[in-house]
Amino acid sequence: MNNHALLTDLYEFSMANGYLATLPDDRWAVFDVFFRTVPDDGSFVIAAGLAQVVDQLKDLHFTAADLAYLQSLGLYQPDFLDYLAHFHFTGTVSAMPEGTPVFAREPLLTVCAPLIQCQLIETWLLNILNHQSLIATKARRIVAAAAGRPVMEFGARRAQGPDAATYGARAAVIGGCASTSNVLAGQLFQLPVAGTMAHAWVQSFNDELTAFRSWAKVYPDSASLLVDTYDVLKSGIPNAITVFKELQAAGHQPVGIRIDSGDIAQLATAARQLLDQAGFPNAKITASNSLDEGVISSLLEQGAPLDNFGVGDKLITSGSAPVLSGVYKMAALTENGRWQPKIKLSNSRSKITLPGKKQTYRLFHPHSKTAFADVITLADEELTAPLTVTNVDPLSTFSQLTLTDFVAQPLQVPVVSKDAQPVETDVLAIQERTQKQLAQLPAATKRLVNPDAYPVYLSPKLAALQQELMKEHQQ
Within 33-52, the residues that bind a second copy by CB under 8 A are: none
Q: What does the DSSP 8-state code read for residue 79?
A: H
**Residue 195 or 414 having the CB closest to a second copy:** 195
**What is the DSSP secondary-structure string of 193-262?**
B-----HHHHHTSSSHHHHHHHHHHH-TTS-EEE--SS-IIIIIHHHHHHHHHHHHHTT----EEEE-SS
**Residue 168 or 455 having the CB closest to a second copy:** 168
Q: Is the peptide bond before 386 cis (omega within 30 degrees of 0)?
A: yes
For the CB of residue 312, give the shortest distance to a second copy in the complex, in Å. Answer: 9
Instruction: Show contacts with a second copy in window 118-137 (CB under 8 A).
Output: 118-119, 122-124, 126-128, 130-132, 134-135
For the CB of residue 249, give the shortest distance to a second copy in the complex, in Å. Answer: 20
**Nearest one of 47, 96, 4, 87 to 415, comparing CA atoms:** 96
- Integer Cα distance of 313 and 323 in angstroms: 14
Does residue 393 bind a second copy (CB under 8 A)? no
- Integer Cα distance of 299 and 151 in angstroms: 14
**Residue 7 or 385 having the CB closest to a second copy:** 7
For the CB of residue 323, give the shortest distance to a second copy in the complex, in Å. Answer: 4
Range in contact with a second copy (rule: CB under 8 A) among 105-113, 138-146, 195-203, 410-418: 195-203
Binder among 100, 117, 318, 359 for a second copy (CB under 8 A): 318
Binder among 81, 183, 270, 401 for a second copy (CB under 8 A): 183
Does residue 14 bind a second copy (CB under 8 A)? yes
**Residue 193 or 278 having the CB closest to a second copy:** 193
Instruction: Show contacts with a second copy in window 17-36 (CB under 8 A).
Output: 17-19, 21-23, 27, 29, 31
Binder among 97, 107, 150, 186 for a second copy (CB under 8 A): 186
- Integer Cα distance of 109 and 90 in angstroms: 16
Structural contact between residues 1 and 163, judged by C-beta atoms closer than 8 angstroms: no
Binder among 25, 58, 85, 187 for a second copy (CB under 8 A): 187
Give the interface size with a second copy as a residue count (CB under 8 A). Answer: 103
Range in contact with a second copy (rule: CB under 8 A) among 7-15, 242-250, 280-288, 464-472: 7-15
Instruction: Show contacts with a second copy in window 161-180 (CB under 8 A).
Output: 161-168
Does residue 439 bind a second copy (CB under 8 A)? no
Phi-psi region of 107 (alpha: psi -120 to 50; beta: other; left: phi over 0): beta
**Residue 67 or 407 having the CB closest to a second copy:** 67
**Residue 204 or 277 having the CB closest to a second copy:** 204
- Treating both helix axes as pointing N-terminal to C-terminal, what angle do 427-439 and 162-174 enclose, rounded to 10 degrees? 50
- Integer Cα distance of 456 and 447 in angstroms: 18
Q: Secondary structure of 126-170 in the HEC alphabet?
A: HHHHHHHHHHHHHHHHHHHHHCCCCEEECCHHHCCCHHHHHHHHH
Structural contact between residues 460 and 388, judged by C-beta atoms closer than 8 angstroms: yes
Instruction: Show contacts with a second copy in window 242-271 (CB under 8 A).
Output: 261-262
